[in-house]
Amino acid sequence: MKIAVVGATGMVGNVMLQVLEERNFPVTELIPVASEKSVGNKVTFKGQEYVVVGLQDAVNAKPDIAIFSAGGDTSLEWAPKFAEAGTTVIDNSSAWRMNPNHKLVVPEINADVLTPSDKIIANPNCSTIQMVLVMNPLHQKYRIKRVIVSTYQSITGTGVKAMEQMENERKGITGEMAYPYPIDKNCLPHCDVFEDNGYTKEEMKLVKEPKKIMRDDSLRITATAVRVPVVGGHSESVNIEFENDFELSDVRKLLQETDGIVLQDNTDTNTYPMPLYAANKDDVFVGRIRRDESQPNTLNMWIVTDNLRKGAATNAVQIAEYLVEKNLVNHEQLQNA
């Protein structure tokens, strides 16, 4: 397998390389790709150094799979060029997610939609992935009517510039700002840009993407997304109203038995999910499960995951693993091209 990682020198790109190595993905040739200013730099993979190349050189190399984490504009311009060359693209930006001609995939939920003809596959938004992984088994059993989600999102979702802003603020240094206000000792109810309806783009991703992934347009979802001075991962307070009633013990058992979810739900021992302990892990952690006593058939819960791993890199690599396992990559065709 010849694998390109586009955006290999970025925060998510680095984690993608780490996850590919940890999961022993069958990489026979790695092609690290980045913008022109990073061409010639080196990245390390499995103890070996690789020279970063530009996008056109990567297209010419005809990789089997190209995993993108380089921003929407880069994806819109270059993903089709890779696809035309026969490469299967897994894109971590928002560029293709809601395009009806492209699949939006969380492997544990809907990998079965993928076919060999899917040459550009969208990786969902980080905060969407952790929420739908929990929503899906509950929806199958109890039928979800409405979801209210408030997020507490790590600055790592913004990138290196945000990390530098927070570190500068903690050291009393004036520097470049990733946000319009200080982030240390603060919370910003402002993730991504505001849209005409008063919601941010991030909030609307949480509204729209689950419907596509779970194949159910009837889901009613409303969201408030907040950036917090945290590094380890995204947290979500989620309120779910069902058509059918439930027993809390059954809900806990169902989630405990769901692949990719770890239940941390014991108030007697102060056991609940926190980004501090979710960092560098691939699981989605769920706890604080309790009835909403203000109305029937409604549940409250707290969901945490490392947004750079399952929220981005790990989910993308899992898609690649599925493509290889199901023989959905035209490997021979590329080698003979």
Positions marked catalytic: 126, 234
Torsion angle of C-alpha atoms 331, 332, 333, 337, degrees rounded to 10? 110
- Bridge-based pairing of strands 2-6 and 29-33 is parallel
CA–CA separation, 206 and 223 (whole Å): 7
What count of other Cβ atoms lies within 10 Å of the Cβ of residue 128? 27
Whether the CB-CB separation of 106 and 312 falls below 8 Å is answered with no
Which among 169, 177, 155, 279 has a CA at the least distance from the CA of 227? 155
